[in-house]
Amino acid sequence: MNINTSIAYAALQASAPAAPIPPPGAPPGAPPDAPPDAPHKPPRATLQQKIAVLNYHNHSQRKCQQTTVNHFKRLNSFAITKSTLNRWVLHEDELRHDYRNLTLNNSKSYKTRPKLREPIVNRCLEILYEQSCLEQRPLTEKQLSSKWAEFYRLVHANTADDDENDGADVAQRSNGWIHHFKKRNSVKRDLIRRYYGEVVGRGDDGIDTEIQRLRLCGSTYNREDIYELDEVSFRSDIGWKTGGAAATASATLTISLLFNSLGHSESPLITENLSSESFYRYLMDLDSRLDHKIVIFLDGLRSHMVPRDKFQNIELIYYSPGQRFRRPVDFGIKRAFKLMVRTDYFQKIRQAMIVNKLTDSVETENREELLRSIMKANREMKSESAMSFVRRCFRKSGLIEGGEEGDDQSFDVLLRQQEEQVRLIFVGFERKGLLNERFLHADIDNVISPLEEEVENVHLSDEDIVKAVQDSSDKMVMNSTSDGTDSTVESVKLVNEFLSQRKGGEFTDLTGEYYRWLGERT
């Protein structure tokens, strides 16, 4: 090898990458250490995870963004930095608005608000598919395709561009759309299958067997951690007035009441149209605020079908369907709440008649006044006498064994006084000729709890589904052009904020105090 060749060879050796070095103590010829794995990069946060972060941040005492970021970084479930959290906080209303429009089927997957072709038609088909699964007659693929076209025609029946929107060509779907639709709706379908497999499969073994099963489910919990949840609804105009218009869905408020066996009540869920999505978000918010486990007994209402394995501190136990077992709420809790709301609400109507000297023209449909009456009743149910009443209802049901004796009876006296007030108010309405035939000499229970206010599963026709979805869509559009918040939810937030700060007597005029507090707040 000449000198030039040696120099060139040496230069190539120097420029070549160094050979990997075997680990110390390794036998000759052993392979070198593999390069370390690249650090795991967490995925982007979904809308559901963003809301969970905001809930955690809002409920923390310090409200420190860096503390919130550090907490979720330790979990390492999704990517988060202080700048991203700051952006979420600034756009919280918009994020919550988008999250409210997700369903349980896609709340875990979407990182932003989904954009679907014909979203109203798609939502109608989702509701129909869920209903068919709950009624144990799931739609076939052929039926899904046919129903999509029918919903399309119903949705676009009254549009201005009938010629453009009418036609089977627009309603045609690709060959794979049914597969993707069923995949998107697999969450609720699996929830329903699980419910029927566990709950409906029990059969009718008698009331005593049911009570023993429920007691066994609650045996590992303290009494203060055993809850029952049930719904009541109110229509601001129940059709008692002569010539009164029939109540509409828009005038209905549904309240989910949650009491434990010691009589304590959690803040209720108040909605216009109770859905499994709103119910799930309510429980998720409660779950995030708990630092220990609780059990909640509830019935098989369609809206109660939620992913139970997503809760860290809440266990849901469903009552067996078809049982005649009387639950704690059946011993007077729901009736007491409705009586207090009705008494306050009818007193406001009577006062309006006196002040305005009106009869037939008096306005009886007022959702805001109804909401304030609900607020007042919720406060009264937190009194010591009301809590004693709730404890007695739990004990009478057999769900709780033993318990205190000699309960305070003052709440029962209050309820009897309120019944008399409602009777007197209706006597006055009758003398003025304002009551229709249905409510003339009506039983007090029919006045307090009209049949049309029962919260139960109902079969929806195609037209009902379209109307419900379009009404919801109209509200969504209206809210998105304002501040992105729901008016009912915002009103309840103010009410809950007022009640959390309110201290003092049990049965005072909270309505006047609320208005004064609201004026000072603004």
CA distance 508 to 383: 12
The DSSP bridge pattern shows strands 314-318 and 294-298 to be parallel
Place of tokens 């109209």: 474
pTM: 0.69
Query: DSSP states of 3-35 as a string?
Result: HHHHHHHHHHHHHSPPPPPPPTTPPTTPPPPPP
Burial (Cβ within 10 Å: 0-12, 13-18, ≥19) of residue 162: exposed
Q: Check residue 228 and give its pLDDT.
A: 96
Q: Is the dihedral of CA 237, 239, 243, 247 positive or negative?
A: positive
Q: What is the pLDDT of residues 454-464, one digit of tens each?
A: 888 888 888 98
115 close to 80: Cβ distance less than 8 angstroms: no
Q: Check residue 460 and give its pLDDT.
A: 86
Q: Is the dihedral of CA 454, 459, 465, 469 positive or negative?
A: positive
SS3 string, 111-156, reads CCCCCCCCHHHHHHHHHHHHHHHHCCCCCCHHHHHHHHHHHHHHHC
Place of tokens 């037939």: 360
320 close to 250: Cβ distance less than 8 angstroms: no
Q: Is the dihedral of CA 161, 167, 172, 178 positive or negative?
A: positive
The DSSP bridge pattern shows strands 269-271 and 294-298 to be unpaired
Q: Who's near 267: CB < 8 A, 6+ residues apart?
A: 378, 496
Instruction: List the structure tokens of 54.
Output: 């905001």
Q: Check residue 56 and give its pLDDT.
A: 85
448 close to 335: Cβ distance less than 8 angstroms: yes
Which amino acid does the sequence have at 383? S
CA distance 436 to 364: 14
Instruction: List the structure tokens of 336.
Output: 């007491």
Burial (Cβ within 10 Å: 0-12, 13-18, ≥19) of residue 37: exposed
Q: What is the layout of strands, in order, in the sheet containing 269-271?
A: 269-271, 252-260, 226-235, 294-298, 314-318
Place of tokens 């009541």: 232
83 close to 103: Cβ distance less than 8 angstroms: no
Query: What is the DSSP code (8-state) at residue 69?
Result: H
- CA-based nearest residue to 486, from 276, 253, 287: 253
Helix 186-198 / helix 119-134 crossing angle, nearest 10 deg: 10
CA distance 415 to 333: 11
Query: What is the DSSP code (8-state) at residue 223?
Result: G
The DSSP bridge pattern shows strands 226-235 and 252-260 to be antiparallel
Per-residue pLDDT of the chain (522 residues), as tens digits, is 454 444 444 443 444 444 555 555 555 555 555 555 555 678 888 887 888 888 888 878 778 989 898 988 888 888 899 888 888 888 888 888 777 666 665 555 555 555 667 788 888 888 898 888 888 888 888 898 889 889 988 888 755 454 444 444 455 566 678 888 888 788 778 888 888 777 766 666 788 888 899 999 999 999 999 999 999 998 866 555 555 444 444 467 899 999 999 999 998 998 887 888 889 989 988 998 898 999 999 998 888 988 888 899 999 999 988 777 789 999 999 999 999 998 998 888 777 777 665 544 445 556 778 888 898 999 999 999 999 999 999 999 988 876 555 567 889 899 999 888 888 887 777 777 776 666 666 677 777 888 778 888 888 888 988 888 877 654 433 232 333 334 444 444 555 555 555 544 333 344 445 555 655 655
